[in-house]
Amino acid sequence: MILVADNLHIMNPNVAKALKEKNPLPLQKIAERCKEANVYAMDINLGPLKRNTEGVITFVIEAVQDIFGGRLLLDSVQPEVLKAGIAACKRPPIINGFSLEEAKMSFILPLAAEYQTEIIGFLINEKGQVPITAEGRLEVASRLLAKAEECGIPLERVIIDPVLVPLTWQDGTRYNHEFLEVIHLLPQLCEKPIRTIAGLSNLGASSPDRAARATVEATFIHMFAALKLDYILMDITHKKALNALNLSQLLLGNKVFAWEEVKSG
Amino acid sequence: MILVADNLHIMNPNVAKALKEKNPLPLQKIAERCKEANVYAMDINLGPLKRNTEGVITFVIEAVQDIFGGRLLLDSVQPEVLKAGIAACKRPPIINGFSLEEAKMSFILPLAAEYQTEIIGFLINEKGQVPITAEGRLEVASRLLAKAEECGIPLERVIIDPVLVPLTWQDGTRYNHEFLEVIHLLPQLCEKPIRTIAGLSNLGASSPDRAARATVEATFIHMFAALKLDYILMDITHKKALNALNLSQLLLGNKVFAWEEVKSG
């Protein structure tokens, strides 16, 4: 599983403060930490921008990209933010993302085609809903991929996100159980392999209990490893989840196993 | 995942002592503990018996079966032990198990047919080896199931064990990675669903580090839950693994989720 960080997010108070004060240092600190943690890509989510949208995204990308050195996910629903972001990126960014919703189809998917970027496809239907069953989500996946192809974007440039939901949602455990089933069944949908991603932070967004949230995140990481999920988008300050990621790589990797390398807890 | 206990094993000093002293009490203590832990079935493995084989297996079964109240797995390579065990069991036992090895085919598989019991099928070939690749193990599964059917044992009475190996084996992580792949691919082999089991204790048989072993066992439980393994055979005194089992059931179950029910660690 390839590690993607969601720490550069507007809900992170350090990010909000950095934007307000136009101070690149807190952003660069996040970028350094991502580099140290061997993160493959950083997701940049600044929320809906109202003023100087292009200036803000450019400022953030320029602040972090050289220090981090990896790839960036441009996480926005604003086409003008994505466009300016693509222009500012030195390495090919990944657009995060599109779905069957009209605005995404009309304004975001075409950007991925025009700039030949990779793009994340959420299994969300025209009404903005995640179907509860795996069958329903696979049907959305099938239509998403067809739309991407019509637009000139091949399967190889799409990464499917079947959408983890907060566990406390009505039927939250059912939704997430079906998420696993989607990962299990997706290879049967396409002739070529299709990559997958999960946003781990969604699980416990509302959790009052940090230890419980950490345990749940670690558990899902192991389940995803078993199902060969390709990318995990997560908070890299969550040590227990990172340990779980390393452990799954140790247990399923090609290195000679040594008990001394197992970190407990 | 359904819980099966491997605690009534000759390597457990309390079991060895009970047999030596013909004292049912230590065996009954294990049976009580299994009952309290909501174990579905207890595996009985007394190692190779030399004298009074039928008397010993009968003594053990009579000691535990009423107290435990669940099903028993008769884990032996000696047909006479299995036969006496089947006769002593009040509830239908499960024979554990057969493989493509000649002795198992000639003397053990026919017992399952004669007494119409369920039987565990190990993915071990004629030479007594576990193929390293999933492909190789699926080929063994296919022949095992054909042999069972020839013998009059339908698919529904077979439980496949793709054989977890100690992590410290040469290529141990590779073997176990391929184990997961077998669980993933097995449904495609048969028209009807086929049940699966894993022996968790094999993983860390040689581990010098109890905490590391516990962490690894918990990790595999989560991976198995994601792949919908049917039965887990394990040491029920391993609390971390039991907590992991409960957590996976909480996360993937049908109950309303509550953070308070997540036990950390």
Residue A228, pLDDT > 60, answer yes
CB-based contact B265 A265, cutoff 8 Å = yes
Contacts of residue B214, defined as CB under 8 A and 6 or more positions apart, other chains included, come to A264, B238, B239, B240, B241
What is the pLDDT averaged over residues A159-166?
97
Question: Could you give the C-alpha distances from A195 to A101, A136, A186, in angstroms and in order?
Answer: 21, 19, 9
Q: Which element (helix H / strand E) includes B195?
A: strand B195-199
Do B238 and B217 touch, CB atoms closer than 8 A? yes
Nearest to B216 among A224, A255, A262 (CB): A262
Task: Tell me: ipTM over 0.90.
Answer: yes
Q: Is the pLDDT of residue A28 over 60?
A: yes
CA distance B12 to chain A (A): 23
CB A216, CB A203: distance < 8 Å: yes
Query: For the segment B166-190, what is each residue's pLDDT rounded down to a tens digit?
Result: 999 999 999 999 999 999 999 999 8
Instruction: Identify which of B173, B212, B214 has the shortest CB distance to residue A252.
Output: B173
Q: Is the CB of B208 less than 8 angstroms away from the CB of A252?
A: no
Contact residues, chain A, for B180 at CB < 8 Å: 226, 252
Contact B215 A263 (CB under 8 A): yes
Contact between chains at A215 and B265 (C-beta distance less than 8 A): yes
Q: Which residues in chain B show pLDDT less than 70? A: 265
Instruction: Place A265 in a pLDDT band, splitting at 50, 70 and 90.
Output: low
Residue B172, preceding peptide bond in cis (omega within 30° of 0) = no
Long-range contacts (CB closer than 8 Å, 24 or more residues apart) made by A151-154: A151/A109, A151/A110, A151/A112, A151/A113, A152/A113, A153/A109, A153/A112, A153/A113, A153/A119
Q: A195: which 2 tokens? A: 């990559």
Mutate to test the interface with B, among A173, A188, A220, A249 (most CBs of B within 10 A): A173
- Would you call B264 and A176 a contact, using CB atoms and an 8 Å cutoff? no
Distances (CA, A) of B200 to A46, B58, B181: 45, 27, 16
Note whether B178 and B132 are within 8 A (CB): yes
Q: How far is residue B241 CA from its own chain's centroid?
A: 15
B248 → closest Cβ in A208, A213, A219: A219
Instruction: Check residue B265 and give its pLDDT.
Output: 58
Q: Which of A168, A225, A259 faces B212 most closely, judged by CB atoms?
A: A259
Q: Which of A174, A176, A264 sits opposite B211 (nearest CB)?
A: A264
Cβ within 8 Å of residue A83, ≥6 positions away: A54, A111
Give ∠ CA A157-A158-A163 in degrees, rounded to 5: 160
A251 vs B contacts (CB less than 8 Å):
167, 173, 176-177, 216, 219-220
For chain A, the average pLDDT equals 96
Helices (H) and strands (E) in chain B, counts: 10, 8
Mean pLDDT within A53-69? 98
Q: Is A36 left (phi over 0), alpha (psi -120 to 50) or beta?
A: alpha
The minimum CA-CA distance between B211 and chain A, rounded to whole Å, is 6
* Distance in angstroms (rounded) separating the CA atoms of residues B145 and B142: 5
Interchain CB distance below 8 Å, B208 and A168 = no
Give the chain A residue nearest B205 (alpha carbons): A259
Q: Would you tell me how many other CB atoms lie within 10 Å of the CB of residue A262?
A: 23
Q: Which two tokens stand for residue A238?
A: 């969550």
Helices (H) and strands (E) in chain A, counts: 10, 8
**Which phi and psi angles does A200 have, rounded to 5°?**
-65, -30
- Residue pLDDT, tens place only, B16-66: 999 999 999 999 999 999 999 999 999 999 999 999 999 999 999 999 999
Q: Which domains occur in chain B, in start order?
A: 2-236 (3.20.20.20)
Please report which confidence band the pLDDT of residue A74 belongs to, taking 50, 70 and 90 as the band edges.
very high
Shortest Cα–Cα distance, B244 to chain A (Å): 8
Distance from B253 to chain A by nearest Cα, in Å? 7
Residue A43's region, left for phi above 0, alpha for psi from -120 to 50, else beta, is: beta
Q: Per-residue b/e over A104-140, b at no fewer than 16 CB within 10 Å?
A: bbebbbebbeebebbbbbbbbbeeeebbeebebbbeb
Amino acid at site B173: T
Distance CA B241, CA B71 (A): 21
A259 contacts B207? CB cut-off 8 A: yes
Phi and psi angles of residue A138, each rounded to the nearest 5 degrees, phi first: -70, -35
Q: Which of B208, B219, B260 sits opposite A247 (nearest CB)?
A: B219
- Burial class from Cβ neighbours inside 10 Å (0-12, 13-18, 19+) for residue A255 reads exposed
* Number of cross-chain residue pairs from A and B with Cβ atoms under 8 Å apart: 118
- DSSP letter string, B33-101: HHHHTT-SEEEEE--S--SSHHHHHHHHHHHHHHHH-SEEEEE-S-HHHHHHHHHH-SS--EEEEE-SS
Nearest CA in chain B to A265: B265
